[in-house]
Structure 1
Amino acid sequence: MFGSRLKDLRNERKLTQDDLGKLLNVSGKTIGTWERDSRQPNIESINKLATIFGVTTDYLLGNSDEKKSQKYYELSDKEKNDIAIQAERLMEGIESGHNLNFYGEPATKEQKDRILIAVKTAMEMNKMEAKRKFTPKKHRD
């Protein structure tokens, strides 16, 4: 299982065995023995391979069919983008409704940027918490 997954990942990246060997400081022949399941790499090499190919070690070792590990509560790029849009709209509403002031002085651009960051962070945290709370137990860690 390991060997075939390694070979598939290497071919997807259009790397030769020698190319991959150079990245790991081993020979191309060593990569060949791993791909034929004649030998197994050490744990350090397995971790490096997972990093190079952007997959989990469990995937490489055949313990999982999921290439990437994403926790059920992690936000997707789309969710992060939606939150950023909502935060921008919130800031526009704050600024257009009443002047945003701190201690009687109009807010500077830097202060507004910090508020926007804080709002986005809070919204992302709330979204992750909701995903944690409402995800079925069978999909949780």
Structure 2
Amino acid sequence: MTVFERVKKLCQERGITLQTLAEKTNMSINSLYKWKTSKPSIDKLEAVADFFDVSTDYLLGRDDNKKYYDLTDKDERDIQKELENMIKDLSNGGALAFSKDGSEMSEVTREALIISLENSLRIAKIEAKKKFTPNKYRD
């Protein structure tokens, strides 16, 4: 996918035209259309990346993640592994430590707890990437 195709796709997702993008980024529409066959200049590429809040690497096709803190496949595997360990630890505790009456929790409650834990792990991973990624590796 070319830079132009990615930009066009982002425009469609945002519900704007290429002309609107050109106006908002102080470019001519012809500049954008030139990207079909040639590489854009750095300043124009950065302007478009900033407008859409994506990385320049995403626009250039070097990375499929729109932002530096998007979760990678490795991150997803790590989350699943950690989730499995948490579920195992909770299961070893019997009816869970916070259960007052000591009875088993329903399947619906168990699934809701697992979904909540998984979402919490994802949020924590994203926040850690935002906080600890060195500036030179950010957008």
Q: TM-score scaled to structure 1, two decimals? A: 0.51
Superposed CA offset, 1:64-84 (max 9, x none): 562145311111122112201
Q: In structure 1, list runs of 5 or more residues that go unmatched.
A: 10-41, 45-56
Instruction: Give the alignment of 1:129-140 within 5 angstroms.
Output: 129-140=127-138
Q: Is the 8 A contact 1:88 1:116 kept in 2?
A: no
SS in 2 for 1:106: coil
Measure, in 2, the Cα distance between the counterparts of 1:97 and 1:116.
15
Q: Deviations over 1:71-120 (max 9, x none)?
A: 11111122112201211221111111231375524211111111111111
- Aligned residue for 2:29? none
Shift of 1:131: 0.7
Matched, 1:83 2:60: no
CA RMSD of aligned residues (A): 3.1
Residue 66 of structure 2 is matched in structure 1 by: 70
Q: Highest Rg: 1 or 2?
A: 1
What are the ranges of 5 or more consecutive residues in structure 2 without an aligned counterpart? 6-16, 20-32, 41-55
Select the structure with the greater relative contact order (CA < 8 A; seq sep ≥ 6).
2
Q: Relative to structure 1, is the Cα distance of residues 111 and 133 closer, same or farther in structure 2, using a 3 angstrom cutoff?
A: same
2:12 counterpart residue number:
none
Question: Which whole-Å CA distance do the structure 1 matches of 2:110 and 2:65 have between them?
Answer: 35
C-alpha distance in 1, partners of 2:83/2:91? 12
Residue identity (%): 27
Alignment-mate amino acid for residue 107 of structure 2: K
